[in-house]
Each structure stands twice: as C-alpha cells, then as structure tokens.
Structure 1
C-alpha cells in the first residue's frame, strides 16, 4: 500500500493556528511513560511539551513520549535545556514535532535556533532517513526534508527584558513560528517576580502581539496558570497558544482537593 507524506505527517497545532484558533497545551515534568500522551489527548489538550529545561528526563525518555504522541493523535514539543544542536536536532530526530527554545535574547540567537532546527537552505540540520515521524518509511530526501520542515514548529521564548527590546527583530526571523512569553522569568528580571498585574506585563504582551501580527507569527502565553483572568485578556488581545500548567501541578491540585473534601467530612 502506498503511503504519502501527507497521510502520516501532520501537525494539528500548526493547522489550528493557521485558522486563528486558540491552542491549549500542558507541560510534562513528572510522568515518564507514554501514558502522559494518552492522558493529554483524553483531557482535550491540543498538544503538550516535555520540559527538559526543568526536569530530569533523559533524551531517551523524552523521545519515547514524543514518538508515541502522534500515534495517539497529539503532537508533542520539547523545551530543550540549552539551545544547542545536540539538543535541538536530537529531540526533533527523536520524534518531537517542535522545539521550544528558552531564554532567547536576540534575533541572532533566534536565527541560531532556526539553523539547528531547519534543513537547508534555512538551516543546517542533518538529514536523517527513517525518522519516527515518517513511520520509519523511506522517502526521497528532498521531499522528506521539505515535509518535515513544514510540519516542525520552532518556538522561541521571550522571557528577558533584552528580548522585548528586540521583539520586532526576533519576530522577523525567518523560520520562527511562535514567540512564547515566559511571564515568570520576565517578572523576575524586572525585580517583581510573580507580580503579574504589573503594567509592564500587559505592555509586553501587546508589544509582542503587535510584532507577531506584523510578521505573520503567533504568540504564546506561559507562566500564567494561576491567572485565568489574564490568560483570557491576552487571548482576546491576540495570543493563540496557552501553556496551562504542568502534570505535577494538576496532580497535586486534584489530590489536595480530594484530601480536603474527606477531611471536611469529619470536621
């Protein structure tokens, strides 16, 4: 049976964003098995990302989860611990449909991320036949590279004051799909960690949204799981990707609620 690249290589997140729809995501820091992909899909998330920057997952564990995700029907991304080729290209080869690059502070750094994540001519990612994205099937290299590039998302994190000062230049970088605002680290750099009502937060979102609209890119919301009011505000302003929280925080919140409910019975 003949199988086309279009049959097996889809990124539903890119498709939703192209329709200007809001995408929901969760972070994975705790669950090391492929069950988390099924849980994320069953819960109704559009995607999830393994947060290698803030957990102890190995590349092997991360790749196993990412490899299982598209078979379940949900694309998986990876936030890498460093914006270097030994992480970026390897998580993509391992099954991730996108890479999230933390602490990008300049257009030059964004271009470096693109260079590691994209095939020629926009990058220098090494061609590798028989990837899990392709179901280990063989396709002509030129065709496979073009299809993989089209399906892969490159997301850079805006979590530094320096990045905000260059937001126009970063948004203009060819090969970048999204600017994801890391609100926690941004407020920390301002010296007001966790103070999300600081007027500079809303101003940062507006400035980033304006720059991304100008250059045809998307904006993501990060670090605001505790503030659904602000998430709604920034979505209405034009952000389209929402990082809702971690598997760990969801588990602790549900367990805490159940324990309190039972404790209240004996009060």
Structure 2
C-alpha cells in the first residue's frame, strides 16, 4: 500500500514544536556532502540548516544534501542569501522542508517571503510536479500543494533593530512559523557586537517571545553557541528552537582539543 501524503511529508520539527518541546539544530557551512545529513541525524539533532547566506555551496549541492536528509528522516532547512523567489522557491523545490530568511525588517517584507514560499491560496509559489518531498510520486496538485503548505516552515530572522521595533506586526503575519533571533547581527546594529550580557539582548528575546506567543508562532535562538547559560535562560523564557553552532566550529573545537591533549603529554 502506498504511503499517504501526511506520512510522506511528516515534519518532526513541526511536531516537536507543537508539543512545546525544544528543538536542537546545527548549521552547515563546511561539509557539502550528503554525509552531513547522516552525521547530524546520528549526533541526535532534530534538524539542521544549510547557511547559503554565509557559504559558497551551489543550489545543486544544497539540494543533494536536502534530499539525503529527506531519505534519512531529518528535516533540513536552508537559510537563503537573499529573500527573493529565485532562491526561496528553488531551495524548497530542491528538497528543503523550510526556509530561513535573513534581515526581514518589516511586516511587508514578511508577507513577501510567505508569498514566495507558499502555494496558493497562501502565496503564489509556482506549482511544480515531481518534488523530492513527495518521493517523486504523483498526487493531485491541489492536494499536494495544500499538504506542502502545511508542512513547509517559514522562518524569519529577527536580527535588525527595525525588525525588533516592529516585532508585534511581523509576528502577526499569517504563514510565518517562527522568528529566529540573530543575536550577533542584532548586537552589531546596536554597536555592541558580541556583548550578549547587555540588557537589550534579554529584552529583545522577551519582546519577541511575547509577540510570538500571542500569535501562535515559535521563537528560535541564534548566535549564542558560546553562551549556554543564556540559551538556557531564553529557553526557560519560551524559545523552543536552538541553533547550537556550525560544522566548521564543531570540527575546529574537537581538533584543537585533541591537539592540545597530545601536546600536553610532553610536559
């Protein structure tokens, strides 16, 4: 018996968030092979996202990794380099189950992102048969598009002062699933890069969490891999998606620890 659409399109991240559970994610910037999907799954991550904003992967490479993730049962997102339909629709067509859009500064921009990421009637994403999400099976277009709309996640980066000042309006935009706070860019705009203990950081999370809670949206934590104390604090406040760091940082940290341990033997 062939699997149903809901079985094929199952999104474990959406399910965990719906249960108010914390989602662990990692960022991919270095490893462009399908191995990274298996590594993330074996390590116990709930999801990972490819950071096209800050790496040179091609769309083909990105799609190959996303399709491997689909087969392994770990949802893969993509942070696009620009909030344009030629990026958003193509990474979604290529196998991503969600899109992360950087530097959204207004509700108007948020509505544009939703329009590019969702099929009618929620948006105007171009219909495309034979998607890898559907295992290249054939389904009625209307049924498939509505199911994809339900399972695809639209995540906005809240990393600009303008966005923070309009966070209530942005969080109210229909079709947005999550706001991911970009702590590094936010502190940079304030002129205090890396000063995570500044009271404005906690206030930004508090305001974003409150706005999202009122509108049935989720909140993610970004840029705080070096501060597990703050991650715990903001999770307790209500954030439920945690970006833990990237593959390059993980490799560098583990390699440095091994080298240090060996050099210590000669002392």
TM more than 0.5: yes
Counterparts of 1:95-106 in structure 2, within 5 Å, are: 95-106=95-106
TM-superposed CA distance for 1:121, in Å, is: 1.1
Q: C-alpha separation between the residues in 1 aligned to 2:266 and 2:2?
A: 64
SS in structure 2 of the partner of residue 139 of structure 1: coil
Equivalent residue number for residue 49 of structure 2: 49
TM-score by length of 1: 0.99
Equivalent residue number for residue 171 of structure 2: 171
Equivalent residue number for residue 202 of structure 2: 202
Q: C-alpha separation between the residues in 2 aligned to 1:181 and 1:230?
A: 13
TM-superposed CA distance for 1:73, in Å, is: 1.4
TM-score by length of 2: 0.99
1:89 aligns with 2:89: yes
SS in structure 1 of the partner of residue 175 of structure 2: coil
1:105-138 per-residue CA deviation (whole Å, 9 max, x = no partner) reads: 0000000000000011110001101100000000
Equivalent residue number for residue 245 of structure 1: 245
Equivalent residue number for residue 157 of structure 1: 157
Equivalent residue number for residue 117 of structure 1: 117
Q: C-alpha separation between the residues in 2 aligned to 1:131 and 1:86?
A: 17
SS in structure 1 of the partner of residue 124 of structure 2: coil
What 5-or-longer segments of structure 1 have no aligned partner? none
Report how many residues are paired: 267
Equivalent residue number for residue 61 of structure 2: 61
TM-superposed CA distance for 1:59, in Å, is: 0.2
1:64-118 per-residue CA deviation (whole Å, 9 max, x = no partner) reads: 0001102111000000000000000000000000000000000000000000000
SS in structure 1 of the partner of residue 103 of structure 2: coil
TM-superposed CA distance for 1:6, in Å, is: 1.7
Q: C-alpha separation between the residues in 2 aligned to 1:7 and 1:114?
A: 24
TM-superposed CA distance for 1:4, in Å, is: 1.3
Q: C-alpha separation between the residues in 1 aligned to 2:158 and 2:129?
A: 33
